[in-house]
Structure 1
């Protein structure tokens, strides 16, 4: 049971994406317990873990598909529950099940999702 814990007490909720002390209970089963996570603007992050570790549930609370039963989630300083539209304008999310497009590049994939959301493809250049 190897474990590494990182302490970051000064910036936890000043980041572009912030989850603080979140719990998620689904039908009385705890799927996520006491999760804190911070991702800074421009960072790319991966969420790794074994089956049942809570990865999908964590992503679902970040995109407001599931609600945390405790704690808070902020994207770009906007609470994902009370300011969902503002939070969504600050993030992009490409779920795993849509990754089957084998004949297009990552950039083309992002441009497709940007077009669906009404974001001009020229805006992608700022982040690419």
Structure 2
């Protein structure tokens, strides 16, 4: 969890490889967080502005980036990861994530559509 600021910085990079690395690290971290760790992760993601950063990646030109961003949004907005996920849902709504999410419901890629519907 100490490396979270560095991971978030990667997400904001102009270098596609850095963004890919940041998403991979964050997806791995999210997949192992629950309970108190999940609550702390959600709080740090919201307070750092990372929720908005991730929501912007929903409109990225890279299919893999969009899939990972969807994975993160759905998990960070889940009570299974963060018992305060309602705050993440609110943050996603505040930054207009639904306008980047809705077009994904019609995506050609089936996996992306499934993630979007989740």
Larger helix share, 1 or 2: 2
Settle same-fold status: TM greater than 0.5: no
Instruction: Report which of the two structures shows the higher radius of gyration computed on alpha carbons.
Output: 1
Structure of greater relative contact order (alpha carbons < 8 Å, 6+ residues apart): 2
